[in-house]
Amino acid sequence: MAKPKNLIQASTVFERVLHWVLAGSCLLLFMTGLGFMFHSLSFISRFFPGGYLIMKWVHNIDGIIFGIAFLFALVAWGKDTLFFDEDDKKWFRVLGGYLWEVEEVPEAGKFDAGQKTFFMVLFLFWFTMVGTGIFMWFPIFPPALTRWLYVLHALGVLVLGGFIVIHIYLHTCGNPGTFQVMGHGYVSKAWAKLHRPKWLRDVEARRRSI
């Protein structure tokens, strides 16, 4: 793909494909999982040939896809997300200017403190959801302990669900122009100066490629 005029590349093809695999697998896990958790949503199984049994297999296999995809995400984004710097600490003091008006939002690199927090939460609950899911699929523990795994799995659904709703809002309506990072992968320099000034300086100084 040729570089669009007056735009700068903010994500690679690999990052965009990985993002959509994570997003798609996660949403499918939510849909099928809610079909298990709530009787009122059991109709979801009708969308799968074979009903409940096939939905269960789709959920389990999709969980493997999500689990593996996140390992690639750790390689792709871990170096930029699994730590906070001084500007991130300042970002938390004003919450990025999302809840009240601030004179100046602290500068961000490739990801701001909010995005880093989301990734860390995703990392924590990836470990929780995959771990509990495996032992729910292959129950080797006593029934009393296995029941607590179901509770922990359901708690993970609630926490992740809330973070994902916020994530979707902030990267669409909340920050116009952000969605294109995972769309065609290019952003305007004006957008980069506003949202990723430290990252932009590093790219322009050739200290990093993207």
- Each residue's pLDDT, cut to its tens digit, for the chain (210 residues) gives 555 668 999 999 999 999 999 999 999 999 999 999 888 888 999 999 889 999 999 999 999 999 999 999 999 999 999 999 999 999 999 999 888 888 889 999 999 999 999 999 999 999 999 999 999 999 999 999 999 999 999 999 999 999 999 999 998 888 888 999 999 999 999 999 999 999 999 999 999 999
| DSSP single-letter state for residue 175 | S
CB 10 within 8 A of CB 181: yes
Burial grade of 132 (CB within 10 A; 0-12, 13-18, 19 or more): buried
Q: Do 120 and 82 touch, CB atoms closer than 8 A? A: yes
Q: What local confidence, expressed as pLDDT, does residue 17 receive?
A: 97
Asked whether the whole model's pTM tops 0.85, one would answer yes
Q: Where are the beta strands (DSSP E) in the chain?
A: 7-9, 186-188
Q: Which domains does the chain have, with CATH numbers?
A: 7-204 (1.20.950.20)
Distances (CA, A) of 174 to 14, 52, 178, 205: 25, 37, 9, 30
108 with 199: CB under 8 angstroms? Answer: yes
